[in-house]
Structure 1
Amino acid sequence: MSQRVVLQPGYILHLKPFRDTSALVELITPEFGRMGLVARGIRSPASKLRSVVQPFSPLLVSWSGRGELPNLIGAESQGKPLFLQADALACGLYMNELLMRLTHRDEAQIELFSIYDESLRQLGELRSSVTASLQLQQTLRQFEIKLLQSLGYGLLLAEEAGKGERIRSEQTYDYQLEIGPVAFADPHQEVFGFKVSGKTLLALAGNSMLESTTDRAIYKEAKHLLRFVLDRYLGDKPLLSRQLLRRKSTTPEICN
């Protein structure tokens, strides 16, 4: 049975050339989640949608058809495109790739869509400054944590696994996947997961998520903790956007 959907809020995650003038479009919407569309003729110079259907632009999208790849039949801007530049652009591509790799098609993503929209807008507001690097990292860590939570892989950050005792800032923990932080009884104890300080776990816990600190050592450890967790679900295939950040970033602490 053919389906027709009109004016659904959405963001383009990826565009891939298809045949002579068409493209395969991956987008995320709140009601239909991540989905694929065929945008026929969109790469033609005469296409009115060519400049509209672009990443990081809030859209209202319409499609029609059956099967896994319906046809894009319309798209219009829902506000101004978000202007991402330099490191913010690379971070936006990183977020898109995470969504492409970790979400399934045709599953409603109302909460995740809202998280993505908010994160993109934060990136779009960033301008070069002394604090821009920290703000970028705050946005990425918040997005990663909320993404994992929305997919059912939420992190235990405020209390010790199995005990319910509050994390202590002076304590060191072994963060074990699908278990959580386990306090080290012995500094020479074998590490089964990722070694992380209580200060970092507490900085990531709650709603502030790093906003209460400017300690760059905490930011670096938080980045590696989230990378350790995400890699478990991403598998062995490397993220292209992560490689791009390493090559192009003007702020080494974002990617090292």
Structure 2
Amino acid sequence: MAAAKRIADEPAFVLHSYDWSESSLILEVFCRRQGRVALVAKGAKKPSSNFRPVLLPLQPLLLTYTLAGDGTADIHTLKGAEWVGGHVMPTGDALLSGLYLNELLLRLLARADAHTALFDAYAGVVRVLASEHGDALEPVLRSFELLLLREIGLLPSLDVQTMTLEPLKADARYTLVAEGGLRMASAADRAALPGRQWIALQRALDDDAASYTATLRACAPVAAELKPQLRTVLQYHCGSPMLRTRQLMIDLQAL
């Protein structure tokens, strides 16, 4: 009988976990080379388990697991988990923001579909969330939302109008909408950006050498205007119901 194939020392983050039995957990993890993977962590809920203090969200890990069957099964078996270290757990708004990004990845990424560049961007965002991030929080979130949409093929070109492919005019204002892509803004559109800023965002996304940092810089001056547009597009592609973390943010703001 052939030995089960093993994936060893795979950089990963836990996106979500839920009970599988009285003592075990099912984990949804985002791996650098393997993409989104579901793992069973046997005995992880036991007080004596080595997994118990390690399997936390927003913490960089190295995971080892064996593939079930021929590797095409939905759930594989976790064999080892090591905390890489480097930062503490985010708190407050940063923690909620990180859980929001985790929910986006769960809703939008297919299983076993590798996104190495997106993983590296996510790791960079998590480092910022765990730091004294100051005013960087909003630009970091907007840049990751753009990179995520681009990575999974749901972001239109930001230097032309989507329906007509007409190049953007530098001083005209345009808005990004869920069903129609990028179009000329109307008087009723509360959130829009000048063409020059959309073009700058597209150039940043196209920077293969430093897409994350370039996009972060391009987002910094326009993060507030981007927020409602990107949130609407993301919710449209996530479908119903509303993202749980988004609803929680709304409820907290209403207190």
Q: CA deviation at 1:123?
A: 1.4
Structure 1 gap ranges (5+): none
Deviations 1:26-62 (A, max 9, x none): 1011211001000011110011111011111111101
2: distance between equivalents of 1:90 and 1:141?
Answer: 15
Alpha-carbon distance between aligned partners in 1 of 2:243 and 2:158, rounded to the nearest angstrom? 25
1:246 partner letter: I
Structure 1 residue 214: Cα displacement: 7.1
TM-score, structure 1 as length reference:
0.81
> Are the counterparts in 2 of residues 172 and 198 from structure 1 also a CA contact under 8 Å?
yes
Unpaired runs of 5+ in structure 2?
A: 205-213
Equivalent residue for 2:108?
102
What does residue 198 of structure 1 align with? 194
Distance in 2, matches of 1:247 and 1:104, equals 29
Q: 1:244 and 2:240 equivalent?
A: no
Query: What does the per-residue CA deviation read over 1:90-135, in whole Å, with 9 as the maximum and x for residues that have no partner?
Result: 00000000000000111112122111111111212235xxxx3x42
Residue of 64, 72, 97 corresponding to 2:78:
72
Contact persistence 1:87–1:245 (CA under 8 A) = no
- The CA deviation at 1:147 is 0.3
Indicate how the Cα distance of structure 1 residues 175 and 77 shifts in structure 2: closer, same or farther if over 3 A, else same.
Answer: closer
Change (3 A) 1:182 1:68: closer
Given that residues 159 and 168 in structure 2 are in contact (C-alpha distance below 8 angstroms), is that contact kept between their aligned partners in structure 1? yes
- Number of aligned residue pairs: 237
Question: Identity percentage over the alignment?
Answer: 30
Aligned-partner SS, 2:234: helix
- Name the amino acid aligned to 1:68: D
The residue aligned with 1:123 is 129
TM-superposed deviation, 1:5: 1.3
What does 1:28-177 align with in structure 2 at a 5 Å threshold?
28-66=30-68, 67-127=73-133, 132=134, 134-161=135-162, 162-169=164-171, 171-177=172-178
Post-superposition offset of 1:165: 2.4
Q: Provide the secondary structure at the position in 2 that maps to 1:70.
A: strand
Q: 1:180-210: per-residue Cα shift (whole Å, max 9, x none)?
A: 43336xx56x98xx86231663574443547
State the TM-score, normalized to the length of structure 2. 0.81
CA RMSD in angstroms, aligned pairs only: 2.7
